[in-house]
Structure 1
Amino acid sequence: MTKQLLIALALAATGSASFAATTVKATVNGMVCAFCAQGIEKRLSKLPATQAVYVDLKKKIVAVEAKEGQTLDPKVITAEITDAGYDVTKLETVEQSVADIKAGTKAKK
């Protein structure tokens, strides 16, 4: 076996595949309580391409991770958040999983 194949097999075995999750990360104004966060999380979780959702009230962040091989439409995410009664002030697509974003925000606390 080639060295590259061995590395790929080792990464697959440890669960650290080279797949970088595509996540839409939004900064949202108007979220003030756990009920707000729960409502947004429920709405976004129902989207067919959604794998995971994370809401951080203190940092005003909503992160939506796409299922592998799926694409999230930032316009749909913005519409869902806006329809729920909140304002999206910033939207970006990042190559991070929701778990990574969650870990990063908790580490900064």
Structure 2
Amino acid sequence: MRIPTLFLGFSALILSSFASATTIELDVNGLVCAFCAQGIQKKLHAIPATADVVVSLEKKLVAVSLRDGQDISDDDLRHALTDAGYTVKDIRHVDESLDDVRQRLKTKTP
């Protein structure tokens, strides 16, 4: 039985989206000012696999988008932030773009 090429391409797309997350979110304690956010952004941008970083002081959230085909271990992220004096409470790998995270952070929750 021959499987249509379109189906194979769609299957590969679905599988690749589950294979690796596009964004890593970290819940971080100790974020209190814009200087904190700037320092975290600078530290995480120094990691070669980092494409971009968003820091929300209000939500105490750091989100890191990854370069295509690259990853950063949870241990490396935790180490980078704890060395800078922060406490990492949780790390989540999500299949969401950093733009989507920014949009979600702008949305007020009741």
Is the structural similarity TM-score above 0.5? yes
1:83 partner amino acid:
D
Give the CA deviation at 1:108. Answer: 2.6
Superposed displacement of residue 97, structure 1: 1.5
Q: After the TM superposition, which parts of structure 1 deviate over 4 Å for at least 4 consecutive aligned residues?
A: 17-21
Between the aligned partners of 1:108 and 1:47, the Cα distance in structure 2 is: 31
Question: Normalising to structure 2: TM-score of the pair?
Answer: 0.79
Find the counterpart in structure 2 of residue 12 from structure 1: none
Unaligned runs of 5+ in 2: none
TM score, norm. by length of structure 1: 0.79
Which residue does 1:98 correspond to in 2?
A: 98
The number of residues matched between the two structures is 98
Which letter maps to 1:103? Q
Q: Amino acid of the residue matched to residue 88 of structure 1? A: V
Q: More displaced, 65-74 or 27-36?
A: 65-74
Q: SS in structure 2 opposite 1:65?
A: strand
Question: In structure 2, the residue corresponding to 1:59 is in which secondary structure?
Answer: coil
Aligned to 2:79: 79
Letter in 2 for 1:29: N
Distance 1:56 1:73 in 2: 21
Q: Distance in 2 between matches of 1:108 and 1:66?
A: 26
